[in-house]
Structure 1
Amino acid sequence: MPFDLSAYLARTGLAVAPPPTAEGLALLQRAHRLTIPFENLDVILGRGIAIDSDSVFAKLVTARRGGYCFEQNRLFGDALDALGFVARPLLARVWLGIQGPPPPKTHTLSLVTIDGQCWIADAGFGGSYAPPMPLAEGETADAPDGARFRLMRDPLHGWMLERDGDPATTDGRGGGTGWQPQYSFSLDPVFTNDLILSNHWTSTAPDSRFRNVRIASIVLPQGFASLTDAAYRRRNGDKEASGEIGDPRVYRMRLSLLFGIDLAAEDVAALGLFPAA
């Protein structure tokens, strides 16, 4: 079906369509992440993750659920196209919180060309929030939560996006001081079947993080909130809260009130976080 731009803009809280400019790109990505939560709960519940345009729109816009990167950036990419941006997907290796050999390509983002300049944009990284950035060696950007980001060339992986910020504005994987690698990517062409393959591994492989950890996150005006299994973290400006949820009713309420994810009580029970009463 044709992309319903009006419904997407309503979902993201935008009264007017942003222009296909650098400013419009930043506005669109920010609005997307402030309103559409990152989540992998359907993976844990054993439901397939479809990443075709119609399925993603039905879930994230019509049903007002969230999704992970292959869903989020499919929707974001369709919106970019509808708004007149020139964009294509890239695949990335996520390094945030990783020690050891190179991780698989389990993340996707967008390469956007505006007036001859390439930008990276990402509405689907659930671990932190990076604004759109011009693709240039040493380019930096400041996020509203106080974190800084930097793009550096990488001799093996092409490009590395680095982060320097408080781990309180991540989903719990941040750590250390100074610049930390977030993800690496190349500019190689990415085709539909590449995305299908990476999404299949991410949602089905026994070693995939998304098969083992229940995750929800959302960007806040000056911060970030996450729910990693039963561990809750919220930082917005100078206000911070964290704790462990021990009651499925509180978990369900937290999902709904902060992340906008409404699950039935039986679905929360099926996540396997809390012992049966």
Structure 2
Amino acid sequence: GKEAAPGQLQAQELIETYNFHDHDANTEIYGLIGNPLEQSPSHQMHNAFFKKKRINAVYVKMPLLEEELPLFFKLAKQLRIRGLSVTMPFKEKLFDYIDCVEEKAIGAVNTLILDEKITGANTDGQGALDAIGDVANKRCVIIGDGGASKAIAFEAKRRGAHITIISRRAQNLENIPEYDILINTTPVACPIDLSELLPRRVVMDINVLHTTTPFMLRAKALGCRLIYGLEMFERQAHGQFLRWGQTLSL
């Protein structure tokens, strides 16, 4: 048959990924907002979970521009949207649309619960630190200063780590401090000088799709323990399911 037009779904994807045959007038809507969203595997993981748990819900990607946010949130409850994942570039830009936040000090959200009010939460830090394990008294250097970096730093500090955050725009990327754990949160290849990598440390890259980057290959060659983005992604998604539990009938 003919290919679907851009933005439209193939019939096979509707059935196999979105569980189309299981939907009815009572199906609740969850989704991902941000831009761009093409590379995100969120819809696959969340819809598989709904199918496994026999939950009458669907999870869809909702690419938005920043100027579309006011209208989107005005319509969200009318559209039966009960929960949202939030990705770049909106993690730090939604506070005007949220009624309350679990941890406002983080300064970013990646999860919204839409009930009588809109509640913001952040599971990025929990997901990353659960993947890493014990960080108490460890020196943790985080590359990048966006929403995910803030959440990871907040949770790592809460668990007893000593934190240094380095912006990818910083001038000192060729002279990073001593560390036990190095985390790249930038959306592109890690910008530090790879000769700065230390042997036998813990190295994490939160990018989900890119696992064979020069950064991770160099860390592997140095005998480091590698933690890939998918390990964090799965754990932060579980945190979202728990937050949505009040509306999901888990």
The TM-score with structure 1 as length reference comes to 0.27
Higher normalized strand content (fraction of residues): 1
Question: Which entry has the higher C-alpha Rg, 1 or 2?
Answer: 2
The TM-score with structure 2 as length reference comes to 0.29
Higher normalized helix content (fraction of residues): 2
Higher relative contact order (CA 8 A, sep 6+): 1
